[in-house]
Amino acid sequence: MPATEAAPTAIAAYEDAPLRVAVIVGSVREGRGGRAVTDWFLGTAAGHAGLELDVIDLVDVQLPLVMPGWGSTPSPEAVAALADVTPRLAAADAFVIVTPEYNHSFPAALKNLIDWHRGQWHAKPVGFVSYGGLGGGLRAVEQLRLVFAELHAMTVRDSVSLHGPWSGLAENGSPRDTAVCEGAAKGMLGQLVWWGRALRVARATLPYEG
């Protein structure tokens, strides 16, 4: 069936379905603030109707740093880790990356997860929640935009940036200026949902061949 004929059926099927968003906690460092920042974001996102949130905490994803050669079989440890995380990335309609900034960039564990996958990112939107330092993690976000562009993903324009921890974040990981930060989160989610729904229909009616 031509894509133009399939489109109405696909659109109808997806109109009321929740948008599946994988929220990825990018830091695995001891004493990290990433999980607390994620919990704050989840509380804010809970007020946005039509989202189905799946938290992928990289502390729980034991992907090895050594990757197999082209055409080789991954190690049993890698196979076990991928069996859990890969289907969740594939099922997601959109992603939110929660990341600190390490040395003007993002954590190695996050890059490792990204590099173990490819098609799972294609033609899907990515939003960012960054934290830490005077820049609020924005340099990590800018570098992630370059990585996801290579993977044919669509990064949304607005992001959430939490400065601190000594100024912008409270001890529990929540932002001190809740009004500004919650407004930023709602703005980013609005863009993520728009792109998520549009690209979900697009992938169903005309599969992406990137």
Residue 166 confidence (pLDDT): 52
Classify residue 123 by its DSSP letter.
T
Residue 15 confidence (pLDDT): 67
Residue 85 confidence (pLDDT): 98
Residue 8 confidence (pLDDT): 63
Concatenated DSSP letters of 125-189? EEEEEEE-BTTTTHHHHHHHHHHHHHTT-EE-S--EEE-BSSSSB-TTS-BSSHHHHHHHHHHHH
Q: Residue 111 is inside which H or E element, if any?
A: helix 108-115
Residue 57 confidence (pLDDT): 98
All structural domains of the chain: 3-65+75-205 (3.40.50.360)
pLDDT digit of tens for each residue in the chain (210 aa)? 455 555 566 566 666 799 999 999 999 999 898 999 999 999 999 988 899 999 999 999 999 999 999 889 999 999 999 999 999 999 999 999 999 999 999 999 999 999 999 999 999 999 999 998 788 899 999 999 999 999 999 999 999 998 865 556 677 767 777 778 889 999 999 999 999 999 999 999 998 987
For residue 84, the tally of other CB atoms under 10 A from its CB is 12
Give the pTM.
0.91
Answer whether the bond into residue 165 is a cis peptide, omega within 30°: yes
